[in-house]
Amino acid sequence: MIETQLLSGTVVAAAVKEEVAARVVALAKRDKSVGLATVLVGEDPASEVYVRNKRRTAENLGIKSIHHQLPADTSQGEVDDLILRLNEDPAVNGILVQLPLPAGLDGERTVNLIDPTKDADGLHPSNLGKLILGRPGLTPCTPTGVMRILEHYGIEVTGRHAVVIGRSFLVGRPLALLFNQKGVDATVTMAHSRTPNLAAVARAADIVVAAVGVPKLVGPDFVKPGATVIDVGINRTDDGLVGDADFEALQGIAGAMTPVPKGVGPMTVAMLMHNTVTAAEAACSRGNRPSSPVVVER
């Protein structure tokens, strides 16, 4: 019987945050402060909780939280103007627009307006494109957090076969590209809800990532004994929060596994802070000039 190792996102997120705090201190010694602008439109209670959590985490790490709370009836033009102002503001290193925006506002357009060098979420199309180009850029928080968990626990990725179930732009697709980068060198299968024989496909993997939003989809038939299981799912069910993997049923089968909660979840905010300080360091090397105005599709 295998003893399944617990991969604690809480532990890894704490390590990331400690590293971020040290980098903020190092920048402060060069008279450079770090600022994260959060934009919340309307009064969605869940969004308010998320933003409060991000602001509190930032402040705990010495990152200045610059919050903009706009009423639900804000026009797109007003949102656009705010983003363009934040793009130009040298005190702002990261910009986070809490999605979804209220009806009538265009979240995609708004994200596209963010200066890619201040794109704390790593979701601007041009930052996503860099994952294909294999060029450095700010990367999406959740998939980068998954890679960080694997790295922290010394789980070998190079030469291994990862199967990523789920093809969202938030997790599955960028994560597959992170596994595929040169130097990481995993072989990756992008699977999804329409993949035939999904269990058999997953069972070929050394690392199974479940990011598809189906409670307890990944059970013993999906996991080769000893394989690592990363559970990105967060599903609200009558039994409380459950992941996309069956945590109990996989004990003794998976070699290592993230729980839900306290698995991948805490990594998202930690990597947001990581992106913010990375952006601040890059701005510092550029001499804090904002990037140049160029034509881009709106």
Say if residues 58 and 36 touch (Cβ distance below 8 Å): yes
At position 196, the amino acid (one-letter code) is P
- Min dist CB 19 to a second copy, Å, is 25
Angle between the N-to-C axes of helices 265-285 and 141-152, in degrees from 0 to 180, rounded to the nearest 10: 100
The span from the CA of 13 to the CA of 19, in Å, is: 10
Using rule CB under 8 A, residue 285 touches a second copy: no
Tell me, yes or no, if 244 is annotated catalytic: no
Instruction: Judge whether 98 counts as a catalytic residue.
Output: yes
Residue 146 within binding range of a second copy, rule CB under 8 A: no
Binding track, positions 163-192, relative to a second copy; x by CB under 8 A:
----x-x---xx-xx--x-x--x-xxxxxx
- Judged by CB under 8 A, which stretch of 132-140, 221-229, 246-254, 267-275 contacts a second copy? 132-140
Among this protein's residues, is 121 annotated catalytic? yes
Binding a second copy by CB under 8 A: which of 65, 126, 235, 251? 126
Applying CB under 8 A, the span of 6-14, 36-44, 51-59, 106-114 interacting with a second copy comes to 106-114
The letter for the amino acid at 178 is L
Q: Fill in the amino acid letter for 294.
A: V
Q: Under rule CB under 8 A, how many of the chain's residues touch a second copy?
A: 52
Nearest to 23 by CA among 275, 264, 267, 265: 275
Nearer to a second copy, 104 or 134 (CB): 134
Per the listing, tokens 């049923």 go with 249
| Residue of 29, 31, 45, 158 interacting with a second copy (CB under 8 A) | 158
Please give the radius of gyration of the chain, using alpha carbons only, rounded to the nearest integer.
20
Question: Does 125 contact a second copy by CB under 8 A?
Answer: yes
Integer Cα distance of 254 and 223 in angstroms: 7
CA 254 – CA 206 distance, rounded (Å): 10
8 Å CB contact between 63 and 273: yes
Residues that bind a second copy (CB under 8 A): 84, 87-88, 108, 112-113, 115-117, 124-135, 158-159, 161, 167, 169, 173-174, 176-177, 180, 182, 185, 187-192, 194-196, 201, 290-298
Residues identified as active-site: 54, 98, 121
